[in-house]
Structure 1
Amino acid sequence: MRKILGWILCGVLLAGCAPVPGADSAPATAQTAATAETAAPAVTATPEEALSTALGAVKTRRLTVVLNGCIAYEVDSAGGSLKTAIAAADLVVYLAGDFVPDDLPGETAAWHDGLEAEDQATMDANWPKVYTCARDICEDPAAQQGLLDDAGVTADFGAMDLAGVPEQLDAMNEVLAHGET
């Protein structure tokens, strides 16, 4: 899986090196070349640094997608408990995976701070139930199976390593619950 991801990320990085369609192919004059050199310093990132930066962007994007699932509904709407179970399950699957940012609380706070006021209010209303459901899934996946089946969740939580997930959930809760526990 990591090898495939590495190839994909390399392809994305190399795609950025392709010439822009319709770009002027005339040679640069000495004056424009000198201006270009002073305007844009040379990039000295190693391939490892570039890959790390790209991987960090992927991790942030995946976190954004998962957290957006927590505001895609209103908790007190029809089917709210099933939608909460789906959001919680997605969060647990994400946190049990390899793409969690190193600064999960900081990335979570940045995501929340970037929301519009209405979406922040939705998250504030939805988060306590999402958090509780996610914790319940981690503590006893078999006990949550009925709810997860009703919600259409097919992930096999019994086969996942969920050991570090509750700690990550607590770190996110510190940010999203605004100090409430």
Structure 2
Amino acid sequence: MTAKSFKSARFILPMCLGLWLTACGSDDAPKTSPPAANDQSVSTATSETDATQSDSANTMTKTESDIQSETTESALPTDAAQDNPVVTEASTEVGKARYEKSCKVCHDAGLLDAPKLTAKAEWQKRLSDKGLETLQIHSAKGFNKMPAQAVGEVTEAEVYAAVRYILDQAQ
């Protein structure tokens, strides 16, 4: 092979590979709306924004206070649910059920370096090093190889109960 043909091969091979990959691509690409529709929605949004900005300062103050009260009201049921003694009483049962549904797969087999349920010394070390609250937060929100568990329909209270269940088993 001559130097000239080698240089040509270095150029042609990647080009052919790119064409081949493009030809094998899927036609299932998401369809985009035509630019005219986007321009129309932008102008509508702009006119709505202009109308909103022309309101008086009193209306804006009321809106902010309404938001404050709504935020306070929405926080109250959550706090009340956390203080509910029924949840506390059922926490061991809820924790065991959550462990069986979500945690058992990794913690029974030790997948992803998860401490096994039967590794009492390892759980005691984790509890003394990090504390209960940190272990619960890491379980709910994820940490290193531990995926977040408080997602979808799973609540943080369920995850916290599962952590307490695991630690109870380790004692």
* TM-score when normalising by structure 2: 0.25
**Structure having the larger proportion of residues in helix:** 2
Higher relative contact order (CA 8 A, sep 6+): 1
